[in-house]
Amino acid sequence: MSLFDHTIKELEEKLHNKEISVEDLVKESYKRIKEVDDQVHAFLTLDEENAIAKAKELDASDVKGSLFGIPSGIKDNIMTKGLRTTCASQFLDNFNDPLYDATVVQKLNKEQTVKVGKLNMDEFAMGSSNENSSYNPTRNPWNTDYVPGGSSGGSAAAVAAGEVLFSLGSDTGGSIRQPAAFCGVVGMKPTYGRVSRFGLVAFASSLDQIGPITRTVEDNARVLEVIAGHDAMDSTSANVDVPKYTDALTNDVSGLKIAVPKEYLAEGVSPQVRESVLEALKVYESMGATWEEVSLPHSKYAVATYYLLSSSEASANLARFDGVRYGVRSENADNMIDMFKNSRSEGFGPEVKRRIMLGTFALSSGYYDAYYKKAQKVRTLIKNDFDKIFEDYDVIIGPTTPTPAFKVGEKTDDPLTMYANDILTIPVNLAGVPGISIPCGMTEEGLPLGLQIIGKYFDESTVYRTAHAFEQATDHHKKRPQLGGAN
């Protein structure tokens, strides 16, 4: 039985009817991992012994949670009690026994999911290709010559490769949606504050958000129903009700008003990407929705704003990693100052160092007003652009990324070009609104393309309704990769 052949809902029905056991399902997940992960490198740590033991417990249980027995993967910057959590960094290579679970992991445990293992990522979530992992770069299951996107590249690749039914990722500037687009799966970045960040190793605290990656919109909605909600352990967690998102999946978008920012289809967006979005808009028109071109005039400043703010927050958040409180301590030091310096020099990779230095500079005396403070003001302008559009429209639609996936190594020597790859996802994080990426086509080379749907604050229901209607009217989500390419 292939995990590819079933949705979460279908497998839950089989489990409840005892047509299959949880142990069968979990063993199938590990079987698939053994078959393909030497090509994909989606996982950093597996937990097979504990996962099978939990599966046997669940098979003997009469209580069944809302994600009962479903195999899942967790991005390696989300804390898992007793299970190695490295953030794909050599600095945390020895962090084998975390003392607590992140809130999202606690919620999944309560609903009786089975944690298969921890997923590869760009080191400390800093990257757009998964090539910044200090262990192995993850490969795109559609063609392993190509990147899966980042920083949640392992989370997207594991779902696309049929290794797990769903995964959790984190999104600071597109790190769920961009790999979801590159890997042809569904990735949701919820509204900032919708999902607790307690237990997420912080990159940029005002931007980070945990979200689900799945193969279908309905599966995605089911997972978000479980992990969303207020958490007293996270001061930025929003105390707002969590609707039953699956109730919104009506396939009815008649009367829906769609805004299409002209900046999202402008220069720099590949012709194949632009054409896939225009074809998607035709599908929406056929279902009774309407769309108009609008402008997000300050979006051109989003990348610069994001890298100043996120790097500044990273500089502060990663100060705790010093070889004393956290991380691997350098043995090449004769005094405390050298120990701090050498631990950080040896432990952090080049991209993390680059962003820490950029952030430290932006926060430094004499430059704070010119860089950090000005970036905060521009962030407000970007947020105001979204607020203005949402006065008249229900959702904003455009491409998730300006290009399809690129080849491994193609952009590693040019960080600015790599940063620009997030130009269409970053504004969503700066504004704090929800956004989802869903499959909307394929390139001539057989690589997936993603459609981004952006909604109003805490209106994930409308985003899901819009995404589900398109998904059900097309067959893009039914395509499956045949693992290939050079390894």
Residues labelled as active-site residues: 75, 151, 175
d(CA 105, CA 114): 10
CB 295 within 8 A of CB 265: no
Beta strands in 182-261 (DSSP E): 186-189, 210-214, 257-261
DSSP string, 304-332: HHHHHHHHHHHHHHGGGBSSSSBSPPPSS
Where does residue 127 fall: left (phi above 0), alpha (psi -120 to 50 degrees), or beta otherwise?
A: left
Q: Cα dist. 324→92, 223, 341, 357, 426 in Å?
A: 12, 37, 12, 21, 34
Q: Cα dist. 466→245, 253, 460 in Å?
A: 12, 7, 10
* Type and span of the H or E element at 71: strand 71-75
d(CA 237, CA 456): 17
CB 100 within 8 A of CB 90: no
DSSP 202: P
Coil/strand/helix, residue 165: coil
d(CA 332, CA 335): 9
Coil/strand/helix, residue 410: coil
d(CA 45, CA 357): 30
d(CA 78, CA 58): 24
Residues in the chain, total? 487
189 phi, psi to nearest 5 deg? -100, 110
List, in sequence order, the alpha helices (H) in 161-206: 177-183
**Helix, strand, coil content of the chain in percent (nearest 5):** 45, 15, 45
